[in-house]
Amino acid sequence: MSDDDNAYLGLAEVHEGDEAHWAFGTGFEDPLHGTDTALPPGVDGAALAARCLALGDDALVLAQRLAQWCTRAPELEEELALANIGLDLLGQTRLLYTRAGQTDGSGRGEDDYAYRRDAGAFRNVRLAELPNGDFAECVVRLLVLSAWRLAVFERLAGTATDPVLAAVAAKGVKELAYHRLYAAEWVVRLGDGTEESHRRMQQALEAVAPYLDELFAAEDVREQVEPVLRQVADSAGLVLAQTAAAPGSGRDGEHTEHLAPLLAELQSVARAHPGATW
């Protein structure tokens, strides 16, 4: 099989030369070092904070779902990989929440956003909050959200008017490229595997399809993301079908019934010990 026919090798070539697959877990340089944190003239602080908060919520909620795979993944190696991806996302969350607190005038910190808001105040896309199914659903969701988030961060790294958000996005690009690569490898491996693994992968694709329109309504990167998803699906012998969109939008605070229990688990210790420092 040539590199042109290999979906996930083709995806890797975009960021060839990067050595650290798990950027947050292995690289501890401050991504904001030397970046002016003052709000640039003409930038709406409230709008910037809302953007940072939404992107931070996406990452936090997905990281919590990935954490639930600990002791449940098919192999120890995959447990570690999913945990490292979750750590990358938590690193992005912390930077984005911090910037939100700096620009919305509230002075709130990352703990306030993560632990002291109810489900209705979260603005994450709903695909991130859906409960874990089997491993096929895990890697399909990770592929979709990583490909989408990578396209968003690539755009922000080059065009964001706020230098802090641009710096956070630039750091996240390398992380998200490997998240996408990891997920694509598994989608192709299982989709092109046994009859049972193929069936489960196709079923997983059909389960996430109703939530694609919400992603592209939140961040208009359809032209960058859909070709990637189709490339991987084609290589895996899968069909990325058009499906009616699920109504509602997490960006508007309209969530599934699954978010509140997830947050209750995430916030339980902090709420049991109010005022503690973590």
Q: Which domains does the chain have, with CATH numbers?
A: 3-14+44-272 (1.20.1260.10)
Q: Would the pLDDT of 1 be above 70?
A: no
Q: Would the pLDDT of 268 be above 90?
A: yes
Q: Would the pLDDT of 11 be above 90?
A: no
| Segment 124-133 mean pLDDT | 96
**CA–CA separation, 63 vs 46, rounded Å?**
25
Q: Would the pLDDT of 271 be above 70?
A: yes
CB 24 within 8 A of CB 226: no
Higher pLDDT, 190 or 275: 190
pLDDT tens across 142-167, in order? Answer: 999 999 999 999 999 999 999 999 99
Q: Would the pLDDT of 29 be above 50?
A: yes
- Least confident among 14-18, 108-112, 201-205, 253-257: 14-18
Task: Please report the pLDDT score of residue 264 as a whole number.
Answer: 95
| Segment 120-149 mean pLDDT | 96
**Nearest-CA neighbor of 139 among 58, 220, 207?**
207
φ/ψ of 4, rounded to 5, equals: -65, -30
| Segment 110-117 mean pLDDT | 94
**CA–CA separation, 262 vs 245, rounded Å?**
23
Tell me which amino acid residue 6 is.
N
| Segment 172-196 mean pLDDT | 96
**CA–CA separation, 70 vs 89, rounded Å?**
16
| Segment 201-210 mean pLDDT | 96
Higher pLDDT, 107 or 236: 236
Beta carbons within 8 Å of 53's beta carbon, 6+ residues apart: 96, 97, 100, 104, 113, 123
Task: Please report the pLDDT score of residue 14 as a whole number.
Answer: 46
Task: Please report the pLDDT score of residue 19 as a whole number.
Answer: 46
Please give the C-alpha separations between residue 105 and each of 4, 102, 108, in angstroms, as whole numbers: 49, 6, 8
**CA–CA separation, 88 vs 26, rounded Å?**
10
Q: Can you state the percent helix, strand and coil of the chain, rounding each to 5?
A: 70, 0, 30
Q: Would the pLDDT of 2 be above 90?
A: no
Please give the C-alpha separations between residue 104 and each of 48, 55, 61, 146, 254, in angstroms, as whole numbers: 8, 15, 21, 27, 22
- Least confident among 4-13, 231-240, 252-261: 4-13
**pLDDT band (50, 70, 90) for residue 4:** very low
Q: Can you say whether residue 54 is alpha, beta or left, with left for phi > 0 and alpha for psi between -120 and 50 degrees? A: alpha
Task: Please report the pLDDT score of residue 33 as a whole number.
Answer: 67
Average per-residue pLDDT in the chain?
Answer: 88
**CA–CA separation, 45 vs 104, rounded Å?**
6
Task: Please report the pLDDT score of residue 208 as a whole number.
Answer: 95
Q: Would the pLDDT of 20 be above 70?
A: no
Task: Please report the pLDDT score of residue 31 as a whole number.
Answer: 62
